[in-house]
Structure 1
Amino acid sequence: MNVLLQKLRTWAHFHPVAWGVIIGTFLSRTGFFMVIPFLGIYLGKVKGVDPATVGAILAASFLVGTLCSFLGGALSDRLGRYPVMITAMAAWSLTLLGFAFAEEVWQFFLMSSLNGLFRSIFEPTARALLADVTPPERRSDAFHARYFAINIGGAIGPLMGLKLGAGSTASLLPFFVSAAIFAAYAAVLVILMLAFKHTVPEKSEITPMGQMVRIVFTDKVFLYFLVGNVFLAGAYSHLDTTLSQYIGHDRIEAYSLLFIVNTLSVVVLQYPLAKLMKRFSSLTALKAGCLLFGLGLFGFGLFDNLALLALSMVVFTAGEVLSFVIGDVLIGEIAPSHLRGAYYGASGFAFIGQSVCAWFGGILLNTLGFSQGPTIFAILMLLTFLAYPFFHRGQLLWERRLGRSDAGQICQGMELTKS
């Protein structure tokens, strides 16, 4: 409780735009989790789509997001954060309405692709805006607050979706409510833009797109982080895809309960883990997150008992907290300020892991069957562990870079002293 009160006092000093992003994140994630986690169940039980096709539909969202995320972040560097965020959020709202009226498989593929497109444009831009308006010394707190909002929305959204009939019935109400929430957030962003257009920079230094690409994708530390994050993003994707089909096909209440455990675990673990990992580098935290992610996944397939499944979710969530919050902070450390949107956008290429793993998980369920949980999730655990060597190599390069930077500062200080 004392830690939470201390954090609330810290959050009180955030810029109003930062609060707008954090509160808007809570609203949008509540709407998102009302629908998307149940989409696989809805397609299978209500629309009669087979598991492999469901996996492919869900994978389409991640694939399109992967291809477009860099463009969204880079555009926000060129055009300003607000225009990109407002346009993406308004279009995202219309996409959720599209899910409600879709009937054919190709229509669900289209809506899923648009969902990935607008999410991949909006998310890196929002993270870049949060970094823009937050001093470096408070950036970690701001991203923790944003992640806290994500998970509170992740707790409330599934409960609201379940009450409104998401997944288990043909009710369209969850889609309508979710779309309305997204539209309201777009309106809030318009108000923020008008109120703070003179105090928050709208555009960064104009850098040609080709130069952005060269700078971002020749940064070896960032590239090792990105490749490792492909496997972690793939591990996380199973929460909404493979796990939703594996448990949700006959125990939808248990699946909803696991989402609540996920959220409560974030609330309980986030700040103790953050305090603990301050003793270590960001990439060390990511390596620990990789191991916990994999072990949690294996537990989902190994156990049937609800208490042990909840324990597996706690382990999984610890990996999630370490991986995603620290990852956002690390990008803020690596990226030059005028290319922050491009770096956050490029980090979206990790969605290729979500796309491939969502599809691969569906194929495993379709091929091996729902009775082979231990085998299926053991395979997924091993895939997650592949992130470890990439984070380790990136850590070595990052420490070497920091060492050169410190040495350069010492030399400059010596020269000034002599002069």
Structure 2
Amino acid sequence: MRVLAATTLVTSIAFFAMVPFLTLYLSDVTDLSAAAIGAAVGSIALISALGSFFSGALADRVGAVTLLRTGLGLYAAVCVALSLSDAVYAVLPLIVCLGCALTLCTPSLKKLLSLAAPGEGSVIFRVRYISQSLGAVLGPLVGAGAYLIDRRALFLCAGALFGLCLLIVQLGNGSLGALEAEREPSAAAGRAWGPALKDRRLFLAVGAGISITLVFSQFESIFPLYLKNEHGTAAAAYFSGLFAFHALIGIVFQFPAQWLARRFPQAAQAAVGCMGFCGAFVLFGLSEGGLLMLAAGVTVWTLGEAILMPMPDQITHRIAPDALKGAYFGFAELRYAGFFAGPLIGGALLGIGPAAYFTTLAVLAFLALPFLASPSLSAPREAAS
């Protein structure tokens, strides 16, 4: 668990040191429109959404540790390549390669976390969220500092961190390998796609995940462009500060999220989370770039995120057989289609105007509620700890 927590933390720092600044980077070095920039950055999620089912099933066959190492190595190599050229013909294919690395890493890491989780184990994905939030506190600060020094330093810092993560996994190879070895291989692993594709609950979890990520992706992709329209060159500093604030209170908000999980059904929790996202877009739209209103919006946004973001993983952990966890978590990564569609839709709406953007997203904030309120996805309330 220490190796997995460290891997999650360092990967999160590296990811958030680079990806949130890609929209600003492309805006600086290219003449692409906001929608085209959103599509380019969103391609990372699209590749992951399309490829993770295959990589997850492959993890069930050849081992999650092997695929995790391969993905981290690819991350590091792509970051080095991005630091060497800012030509559009080189940058855009390399951004797509970041999606390939994400495809290899995410289902493998989630499978290992799920195998290590005791009992229902849904708390392990709250721990994962906290580790990601800690990384998200540090990552944007590292990225903003590097970006202000030199745009290419952004990629060098991220590449070094991914390299460090690869070293952590290599040093913990024995314990991680033993974790997989504890589960006796099953013949079902060779037929992983069939059972997963027949499980209606998995499709509901994917629908919820796409709906959540379509909305959530706005904060990391289009929201910085809104800040750039309002604050110009100071946008990077504004965004890094707000993002660090959001990540820090995200850790604190896991306590009320867990309190809700112990006392209320999943549908009620989901309703509160959707209201948090909706309220944030209302406040952002009324802010006119003012820091106080932006901070208030980030606060209610983070409450919604703390409730909603772990839910698809918790559901998948609960319904997936041990022998097929790679395939189940891989298929669940189709939710990353929301990370592609979100920036594309958001960029187009922001091109129309801030009012159209924030109004539409406030409505879309409730897309996930019908999926999460489905009786077939009902979860037992978490015991007090």
TM-score (norm 2): 0.90
Residue 41 of structure 1, aligned match among 2, 20, 24: 24
Shift of 1:198: 3.8
Partner Cα separation in structure 2 for residue 270 and residue 66 of structure 1: 26
Quick check: 1:74 aligned with 2:54?
no
Greater C-alpha Rg: 1
Shift of 1:373: 1.6
Q: Which residue of 1 aligns with 2:302?
A: 317
Q: Which residue of 1 aligns with 2:216?
A: 236
Quick check: 1:331 aligned with 2:316?
yes
**Structure 1 pair 206–282 and aligned structure 2 pair: CA distance change class (3 A):** farther
Which amino acid counterpart does residue 272 of structure 2 have in structure 1?
Answer: A
Which amino acid counterpart does residue 376 of structure 2 have in structure 1?
Answer: L
User: Is the contact made by 1:60 and 1:109 (CA closer than 8 Å) also made in structure 2?
Assistant: no
Let me know the Cα RMSD of the aligned residues: 2.1
- Mapping of residues 19-418 of structure 1, within 5 Å: 19-136=2-119, 139-164=121-146, 166=147, 170-195=150-175, 197-198=177-178, 200-201=180-181, 204-207=185-188, 211-249=191-229, 250=232, 251-304=235-288, 305-366=290-351, 368=352, 372-392=353-373, 395-399=374-378
User: Is the contact made by 1:248 and 1:255 (CA closer than 8 Å) also made in structure 2?
Assistant: no
Partner Cα separation in structure 2 for residue 79 and residue 280 of structure 1: 40
User: Is the contact made by 1:67 and 1:349 (CA closer than 8 Å) also made in structure 2?
Assistant: yes
Shift of 1:334: 1.1
SS at match of 2:38: helix
Partner Cα separation in structure 2 for residue 190 and residue 151 of structure 1: 24
**Structure 1 pair 208–263 and aligned structure 2 pair: CA distance change class (3 A):** closer
How far does the alpha carbon of each residue in 1:185-217 deviate from its partner, in whole angstroms, 9 at most, with x for none?
1122122113553454277424365x3222112
Q: Which residue of 2 aligns with 1:407?
A: none
User: Is the contact made by 1:73 and 1:124 (CA closer than 8 Å) also made in structure 2?
Assistant: yes
SS at match of 2:223: helix
SS at match of 2:219: coil
SS at match of 1:253: helix
**Structure 1 pair 91–202 and aligned structure 2 pair: CA distance change class (3 A):** farther
User: Is the contact made by 2:224 and 2:239 (CA closer than 8 Å) also made in structure 1?
Assistant: yes
The number of residue pairs the alignment matches comes to 374
Provide structure 1 residue ranges, at least 5 long, that are not aligned to the other structure.
1-17, 403-419
**Structure 1 pair 245–26 and aligned structure 2 pair: CA distance change class (3 A):** same
Percent of aligned pairs with the same amino acid: 24
Provide structure 2 residue ranges, at least 5 long, that are not aligned to the other structure.
381-385
Please, which moves more after superposition, 276-285 or 67-76?
Answer: 276-285
Deviating 4+ runs (over 6 angstroms): none
Which amino acid counterpart does residue 360 of structure 2 have in structure 1?
Answer: I
**Structure 1 pair 197–260 and aligned structure 2 pair: CA distance change class (3 A):** closer
Which amino acid counterpart does residue 306 of structure 1 have in structure 2?
Answer: L
Shift of 1:89: 0.7
Which amino acid counterpart does residue 225 of structure 2 have in structure 1?
Answer: Q
Partner Cα separation in structure 2 for residue 108 and residue 21 of structure 1: 31
Shift of 1:136: 1.7
